[in-house]
Structure 1
Amino acid sequence: MSHGKGKRVYPLLPPVQHQGSYRQQTSIDQATEALNGIHLHNVPVLNPDESTPQQLESNLPMSPSRVKAMSFQQQTYQPINNEQSVRVFNELYTVDLMEEEKQPSIGDLKLPPPPVIVPPEKMVVASESANASSDYIRSTLNAIPKTKALYEKLKIPFALVIRPYQFLHDNNNPPPLSDDGIIVRCRRCRAYINPFITLIPNSRRWRCNFCKLANDLPSVFYLDPFDQPEQPNNLYNRKEIKHAVVEFLAPSEYSSRPPPPAIYSFIIDVSYDSIKNGTFTATVNTLLQSIDMIPNHDNKTLVSITCVNHILHYFKIPLDTDLKTLPTLFEIADLEEPFLPTTTNELLFPLALCKWKLKMFLQELPDIFRTPQSNHFALEASLRTTYEMLSRRGGKIVVISSSLPDCGPTSLAQHVEKVGLTDTAKEYNELLRCSDAFYKQFAIECNKSQISVDLFLTGSKYLNIATVSNLPRYTGGQTYYYPDFSDKIMVRSALKRFETEFNKYLSMDFSMEAVMRARVSRGVKTESFYGHFFNRSSDLCAFSSFPRDQSYVFQLTLEDNIMSECIYVQIALLLSLNRSERRIRLITLAIPTTSILSEVYASVDQLALFTYYTRMITSNVLGSSLTIPQARDLVVFKLIEILTIFQKNVITRNEGGRIMLKCPSTMKMLPLLMHCLSKSIALQPGARISIDLRAEALNQFQSIPIKYLIRSIYPTVYSLHEMITVNECVTVNASLPRLENYGLYLIDNGYNLYLWVGGMAVPKLLEDVFNVSTLPEVPIGEVELPFIEGSEFNKNVRDIIQEIRNEVNADSITYQPLYIVIGPSPNEQTTFSTEQLGMLANLRVHALNNFIEDSIFHMESYREFLQNLKSKIK
């Protein structure tokens, strides 16, 4: 969808007395700024002093999709020499955050990052795929300072945001696979051969681009590009030389044992709360519907089911061929020293051989627990026995619960609301701290045994997510939280969201026994790691299972001056697939270096930088280094630090001595995003915030991919009544005063979709979208748009909603329900029923929280935030 502005084609004329309120020029200005941003941020500029006339002539503005491939003509087959390359960098432009007429230019949030401009001659085979795409890896700096002193002076961290997998299913656009077993690595630093090595002339040797060591090439490689050029053993045709993102089929020496089968061990809460609110029934129904979708590519996937309240209920499912034997139930009441009632092989049943019997069992399971036996949940005991079941093989533990783990040796206490404690210095020690060391220690033991834990938690009661979320955090898993099961307005969508997301989770591919390591050039070192894994050593991240919907942040630093024109980063991921295969996935990135301050500023990727700050700050909150108020102060401090240094070292004195709030155009959205971060549930002030919601938000921010992080921090607002086509839908600022009271808007915050109908909407709009003529007839709440035959506008709105959902479906398990909300109108007290007004009041609270630029949560607006920020810049 485009974010530029076109003429309004939908004939929505407000009542005469309101016609003058439509600010058409506003959207035109926003579109102009967005187009200017594309030009300024994404067209590399050659240095005239170092360029030939022919090079300057060829450096005309290109589309963003072509920028990365600038100057590529035909694939070049020649040894690389060490001659100085033509220096090409992004050009720096500055903006005054206070003087721009309409702030901020939200179109910048959709722009690609500043291009990583690496000369083609640095590659063995010049191509667009020779350097890693920003889909896989993004650097906060796309031009690295050559000196340590310059890097430290900038105060802009050097970090990588990594998303090794782009889709939930591995057959969706996979990278090239090298399956011949030939893996070439440097003898000293162990880096893998890649598109940026140097071929040593007149020899069969290559020089490592990481440590500069000369290595031998395998004798089977052809080194003449014209000698059998299509043969896989021709060096110039090999996938690892042509592509920065590539996979290898790992030989046996990369495995300590044969790849294990995928194992799903379900721990299902059957306490009173879980049965009453529908979680238990929804879990069983979803499992029944999803059996055929569970990854079983090698037909070796195993499953176990344990139901838990104050007793552990185990089930043995016979093979489909065993027609006479029925499923067997075992019950263990000893929670102090729980044990498995039978052998592991009887409790772990092969999915391919028990599918029919399993379906029959799941159909009957709700009847077994139709009458709740207790309102307790023995999570610890069930985890210990499941660990015993999986410890020799590894696998997934999937917990579905609506109850606090309140029985057994490490039972957790019910939270007693302490007025005034939230958002104070004591909040961490009393509320966000892990309440029992078992949950961290057990997670680490699981990681060592290749066992991961995923949590699906439902209900509005206190569940101590701050404690139990440690289980997924250190094993590569995730915590999914559904708090609206008791909300009369949201309960239906909460149930549907749970069922849909659990279904997508079950179908998602994942890998086992995974480790990830970053190798970097001389002068650079890895410093910190953020994400859901266990940091097994100084540079090795261990994952019991590797999901497809998470991202990771590695912080780097300069420990010495850089002498070369580029630095290199290689992310190596070793894992086992559900195909009885061990694979290596490589992601290689080359980044140019510079000694010019302005070139560094012009290369900043503000979305990657914001992601780093989000991970760093929320990680420190979870790790007890920061209180929530200190975290908000750190948000402001980091902005002040960066902007002060920029204005001191780059900006000349302003006319009249007036101090302006200037920043690089590549960072103009950073203040907005940081301000919105301080308003997020993770950091916002307010004594009424649920501590479970706070803990869940902090947890999510540790793993959420960039595009969904940005969308959750700053919702996208589409102005539908100005829409020309589905692909040309205007976006507007997330600020209520920017909305026309006769308009139609779609709000997307990554979790929910809100269709906001202006309180002065004209009958023609209502007829075309909802097939009604008055506002009280518009369906409100969680409801899908009706199909209206002959209405192109209705079709376009439905298409936009579906396009958003399709994008999310490909790479996230998130399901986005649609809520229809009507904005305030002058006569609503007399035209709407009491029930409608009650629903609208509830829905508006949820929807209005998305207008993040405004003064909400008792916090300043974005304009006020800039004013205060400006006063602190020295």
Structure 2
Amino acid sequence: MATNTNLPPNWVEYSDPTTNQPYYVNTLTNQTQWEVPTAQSNQKARRQLANQQAQAYYSGGGGAAVQQPSQDTQPAQLFTPGGGDIQQQQQPMTQLNQQFSQFGVSQQHPQLSNQRPSANSTNLIGLHPNPNELENDPPAINLPPNATLSQSPTANAHPSFKRSTLNVIPTTQSLINKLKIPLALVLTPYRSIETGEDPIPVISDTVISRCRRCRTYINPYVTFLEGGTRWKCCICNLSNEVPQMFDWDPHTNQPADRFKRAELNNSVVEFVAPSEYMVRPPQPPVYAFLIDVSYTSIQSGMVATVARTILETLDRIPNDDGRTKICLIAVNHALHFFNLPPNSSDPNMLVVGDLDDPFLPTPNDLLVNLAECRAGIDNLLTNLSDMFINSSGPESAMGTALKAAVQLTSPFGGKIMVMTAQLPNVGQGALKNREDIKILGTSKESSLLQPQGGGFYKNLAIDCSRSQISVDMFLFGSPYQDVATLQCLPKYTSGATYFYPGFNASRIEDALKLAHELSVVLSSPIALEAVMRVRATRGVRMSEYHGNFFVRSTDLLAMPTVPIDQSYCAEITLEENLNVPFVVFQTAVLHTTCYGERRIRVITLSLPTSANPSEIYASADEKAIVTLLANKAVERSQSSKLEDARDAIMNKVVDIFGQYKAIMTAGGGASAQLMISDNLKHLPLLLLGLLKNVGIRQSSHIPSDLRAYAQTLLTTLPTQSLIPYLYPTLYSLHNMPIEAGTLSEDGLRLPPKLNLTIEKFERHGLYLIEDGQQIFLWIGRDAVPQLVVDVFNLPSLQDLRPGKITLPLLDNPMSEKVNGIVNKVRESRRGPYKPHVYLVKEDGDPSLRSWALSLLIEDRFEMGLSYTQWLSTLRDKINSGSYN
């Protein structure tokens, strides 16, 4: 208890033991408040006491009448902290205050403890990594007792929504700098909800309680004060009034238990937003399709496949309220618009040949209601490929078409979906083929990863973002597509890029992959007109963001649409020392659903603080660290050189290990060991995978389009998909356990994972290697004929043709198991991707064999080190450095 002689009578100053913040208690009324009391406080306290004594604390029994709440304070009878009978509800206010001062928690949350694990050092030299451990959860978050209102297991964010590189936050920036582990959040606000998962709770009563000062949304980490009439913000510590209807159920028109409200029990919730959260009424979903109909696109079958897929997916495009709008522009040397009058099945084609100053030929009937014009849309998509069957030129005015599409959709916003197999080469935004194999693998290669065109596409992206338009790019493999330039539009408009090198619809595998991915993207719910902001405890600031969006202000990210399963990173800086036991990070995404409802998705993560390096090291999340470093490496490669990006990865891992050695191990001299905390033992392995990834790898044989596309994956894939993309999965199929490939309560059982080294291969074996983007079936040169018959339905190994294949489903146990494992692998990755299956023969096509071997991260490949050599290099650099 503190002493303050300047307080009014009956008031005493106390100090909160967890935050060291002063608060004040009236000994007469037991009222608690955080502001310094005045003489008026005494009068208000007495009025409250008289009111509380006069009103019974009824909330759920016998239909007792409830008085209308006052405009000034929230009456106590509208709270139901614990339910129970009427005698329990008529408890004295002193007990009630005690209940609220204890955050409404009667038992400790299982993860609330002051006991945090310390770092357990592991020597990596001579230690073979276990790839099955890459599926382990990140280090547990151990919050101090009474940190949260709720005992719910969902009170803290699941790492698939939000995760931190450190699950214990250092108390000073100097300590962060000393440990060398970057502090950042990895965000996936709209990750897919898998079968069996609970949906995100939706709060539809429009009672949204926010801090007056920092605008934080009420969450499980706030504190209730003054008998529950006020709550203290966990971000800025300001005391706020509880909304009048916070404890009222509008559905039953009865008082409700506030501690059962979703926002006090769940870290991820969605509020239905009232009208004050809207700049304009919710806009309808808009889909504008820009389809390249040049000779290349027609001949490859892209146009026919795209048109058929859109036609078959129209019934699954979000359109529950019948407001969805659609338009289609065909592009070659001119722009071909289609007039689609309602209730007519005959579209009219309008051609615009002016590419320098495009115009919309008719103001109406180009962007049309999907339901009203369905007959005309069906007819157009059915005949689109035949309309341009005689296209003979290589020209594509896609840049001009994009300008026209933005003009057409800007009143509403929405999504522009570009399908092109030809480099835009005429009109606005024309690009040149700048591929130069002579500079691949040199210091000049990074110039091919930077956009060309004088900023046309980046400026267009800014215009799109301003008009709430996002762009998805579906790029098909002509000799050169300039992915590096065209992906600017998705990058700054929160869209996505999909790349199909060498696409030919005559191969059923190519057609099925495109159809699957396009239909998933079209049928997925999207969030429209979104902005995202990350708030944090006072003294904690988001310093830099990474991902596909446009930074509208220092901390506001503009996202015209928010696609499913796209990841973002936010780096963190401490502006002042932390003297609180835990910090809170809250992400809010204000958006319009594709069903016409304005909502706010709120994701809250709380992490403890510590100045103990051992606790901080033990809390490090190696997967989150790798996700951040992948984003930073891509940005470095585009702004500087690929070599600089690789050096930055090397320097960062050396710094982390060097500081760990200096801080956590005895002796500072040279050592034959390479020590690190056990929870970081896979960090070198994953970063070696990043160095060997197509997006970063040192090589003179990687086309710039493939490298640029790999970099888009490195910066957008959620962590659950990024990790196998960096360290692929290897299964042995010819001698897998008998239960592998069979169904259990948890789904199909997969074989155990093997280390990614050729040493695990047998000459008679069949292996599966996958990274989420492609699947390789490797068959040894001495495979027995029966294995070939059972899996591929061919008489001998010599009859197998390497390359893309569709596995036959045969009536034998081996075929059923292999097909089941391939399908399980395809379904287990988040995102719309459907990996091709490639058959690789040990003595077959050298290029295909080399591609598959490049995924064996632990082996030496081209100019890359083996895992053993990589660890030795790290150890030598650490021994030669100076760390303190």
Hey, what does 2:643 align to over in structure 1?
629
For residue 265 of structure 1, the aligned residue among 285, 288, 299 is 288
Deviates more, 1:291-300 or 1:842-851: 842-851
Q: TM-score, normalised by structure 2?
A: 0.83
Cα distance change, pair 512–428 in 1 and its aligned pair in 2 (3 A): same
| Aligned amino acid, residue 550 of structure 1 | Q
Q: Residue 536 of structure 1 contacts residue 542 of structure 1 at CA under 8 Å; is this kept in 2? A: yes
Q: Which of 484, 491, 497 lines up with 2:502 in the alignment?
A: 484
SS in 2 for 1:79: helix
Do structure 1's residue 719 and structure 2's residue 732 form an aligned pair?
yes
Q: Please state if 1:93 is matched with 2:116.
A: no
Between Structure 1 and Structure 2, the one with more helix by share is 1
Instruction: Answer yes or no: is the 8 Å Cα contact 1:125–1:242 preserved in 2.
Output: yes
Matched, 1:547 2:557: no
Is 1:753 matched up with 2:775? Answer: yes
Describe the shift of the 1:428–1:775 C-alpha distance in structure 2 as closer, same or farther (beyond 3 A): closer
Q: Quote the Cα distance in structure 2 between the aligned partners of 1:222 and 1:282.
A: 54
2:867 aligns with 862
Give how far 1:822 is off: 2.8
Q: Pick one of 252, 260, 269 that aligns with 1:237.
A: 260
The answer to whether structure 1 residue 466 and structure 2 residue 471 are counterparts is no
Which among 404, 417, 422 is matched to residue 385 of structure 1? 404
Letter in 2 for 1:612: L
| Other-structure match for 1:134 | 159
Would you say the 8 A contact 1:618–1:698 is kept in 2?
yes
8 Å CA contact retained: 2:646, 2:691: yes
CA–CA separation in structure 2 for the residues paired with 1:740 and 1:252: 65
- Name stretches of at least 5 consecutive residues in structure 1 with no aligned partner: 1-73, 825-836
Question: Could you tell me whether the CA contact under 8 Å between 1:80 and 1:122 is conserved in 2?
Answer: no
Q: Per-residue deviation at 1:405? A: 0.9
Question: In the TM superposition, what is the alpha-carbon distance from 1:768 to its structure 2 partner?
Answer: 4.2
Q: C-alpha distance in 2, partners of 1:446/1:786?
A: 45
Cα distance in structure 2, aligned partners of 1:598 and 1:684: 34
Alignment pair present for 1:643 and 2:670? no
- Identify the residue that residue 55 of structure 2 maps to in structure 1: none
d(CA) in 2 for partners of 1:167 and 1:792?
A: 32
For residues 468 and 784 of structure 1, do their structure 2 counterparts lie closer, same or farther at Cα, with a shift above 3 Å needed? closer
* Runs (5+) with no aligned partner, structure 2: 1-81, 85-95, 741-748, 880-884
Q: Letter of the 1:746 partner, please give it.
A: L
Q: Which string of whole-angstrom CA distances, capped at 9 and with x for unpartnered residues, describes residues 362-394 of structure 1?
A: 112222101014211112211111111111111
Q: Give distance in 1, aligned partners of 2:139 and 2:194.
A: 29
- Does the CA contact (< 8 Å) of 1:211 and 1:521 recur in 2? yes
TM-score (structure 1 length as normaliser) = 0.84
Task: Report how far residue 549 of structure 1 moved.
Answer: 2.6
| Counterpart residue identity of residue 261, structure 2 | R
Which residue, 355, 361, 381 being the options, matches 1:335?
A: 355
Question: 2:429·2:453 contact (CA, 8 Å) conserved in 1?
Answer: no
CA shift in 2, pair 1:439/1:668, >3 Å: same
> C-alpha displacement at 1:173, in angstroms?
4.3
Structure 1 letter corresponding to 2:500: Y
Q: 1:358 to 1:525 in 2, by over 3 A?
A: same
How far off its partner does 1:130 sit?
0.7
**Structure 1 residue 166 displacement after superposition:** 2.2
Partner residue, 1:250 = 273
Q: CA deviation at 1:395?
A: 1.2
Q: Structure 1 residue aligned with 2:330, among 281, 301, 307?
A: 307
Residue in structure 2 matched with residue 806 of structure 1 by the alignment: 827
CA distance in 2: counterparts of 1:679 and 1:635, whole angstroms: 12
Q: Which amino acid counterpart does residue 328 of structure 1 have in structure 2?
A: N
- 1: CA distance between counterparts of 2:481 and 2:113? 59
Distance across 1 between alignment mates of 2:784 and 2:528: 56
Cα deviation digits, residues 102-144 of structure 1 (max 9, x gap)? x222122111111112245211121101111112111100011
Report the CA distance shift for 1:601/1:178 in structure 2 as closer, same or farther (over 3 A): same
Which of 717, 723, 740 matches 2:762? 740
Contact 1:510 1:577 (8 Å CA) reproduced = yes
Question: Match of 1:552, as an amino acid?
Answer: Y
Cα distance in 1 for partners of 2:801, 2:426 equals 45
Helix, strand or coil at the partner of 2:825 = helix
Which residue is 1:435 aligned to? Answer: 453
Query: Could you say if the C-alpha distance between residues 774 and 424 of structure 1 is closer, same or farther in structure 2, counting changes exceeding 3 Å?
Result: closer
1:215 CA drift (Å)? 0.8
Cα distance in structure 1, aligned partners of 2:693 and 2:502: 18
The answer on whether the counterparts of 2:298 and 2:385 sit within 8 Å (CA) in structure 1 is: no
Partner of 2:678: 665
Distance 2:243 2:429 in 1: 57
C-alpha separation in 1, matches of 2:528 and 2:676: 44
Aligned length: 769
1:812–1:203 CA distance, 2 compared to 1 (3 A): closer
Task: Find the aligned partners of 1:436 and 1:713 in 2 and give their Cα distance.
Answer: 33
Q: Measure, in 2, the Cα distance between the counterparts of 1:86 and 1:397.
A: 50
C-alpha separation between the residues in 1 aligned to 2:863 and 2:671? 31
CA contact (8 A) 2:114 2:142 kept: no
CA distance in 1, matches of 2:473, 2:538: 41
Cα shift readout 1:820-870 (whole Å, capped 9, x = no counterpart): 32324xxxxxxxxxxxx4xx4343233222212211133221211111111
- Cα separation, partners in 2 of 1:232 and 1:783, compared to 1, 3 Å: farther
**Which amino acid in structure 1 is aligned with residue 395 of structure 2?**
H
Pairs within 5 Å for 1:284-683? 284-320=307-343, 322=344, 326-343=346-363, 345-415=364-434, 417=436, 419=438, 421-429=439-447, 432-485=450-503, 492-622=508-638, 624=639, 626-653=640-667, 658-683=671-696
- Say which one has the larger Rg: 2
Amino acid at match of 1:434: Q
From 257, 273, 283, the equivalent of 2:306 is: 283
Contact 1:465-1:696 within 8 A present in 2 as well: yes
Summarize the Cα distance change of 1:799–1:187 in structure 2 as closer, same or farther, 3 Å threshold. same
Superposition deviation, residue 440 in structure 1: 0.6
Residue range with higher mean Cα deviation, 288-297 or 85-94: 85-94
Q: Secondary structure at the match of 1:202?
A: helix
Q: Is the 8 A contact 1:168 1:548 kept in 2?
A: no
Shift of 1:687: 2.3
Query: Deviation of residue 86 (structure 1)?
Result: 4.7
Q: Is the 8 A contact 1:231 1:237 kept in 2?
A: no
Amino acid at match of 1:197: V
Counterpart contact for 1:708–1:750, Cα < 8 Å: yes
Partner of residue 731, structure 1 = 753
Secondary structure of residue in 2 paired with 1:129: coil
Instruction: Give the Cα–Cα distance (whole angstroms) in 1 for the partners of residues 157 and 606 of structure 2.
Output: 8
1:786 is paired with a residue of what secondary structure?
coil
Q: Which amino acid aligns with 1:805?
A: R
Q: Is the 8 A contact 2:225 2:232 kept in 1?
A: yes
Seen in structure 2, the aligned counterparts of structure 1 residues 486 and 353 have a Cα distance that, compared at 3 Å, is: closer
Query: In the alignment, is the contact (CA less than 8 A) between 1:130 and 1:244 conserved in 2?
Result: yes
Structure with bigger RCO (C-alpha 8 Å, 6+ apart): 1
Higher mean alpha-carbon deviation, 470-479 vs 119-128, is at 119-128
Letter in 1 for 2:479: K
**Alignment equivalent of 1:786, drawn from 784, 787, 808:** 808
Equivalent in the alignment of 1:21 = none
* 1:526–1:555 CA contact under 8 A, matched in 2: yes
3-state secondary structure, aligned to 2:365: helix
Quick check: 1:265–1:304 contact (8 Å CA) kept in 2? yes
Q: State the Cα distance separating 1:744 from its structure 2 match.
A: 2.3
Would you say the 8 A contact 1:298–1:578 is kept in 2?
no
Please, which moves more after superposition, 542-551 or 119-128? 119-128
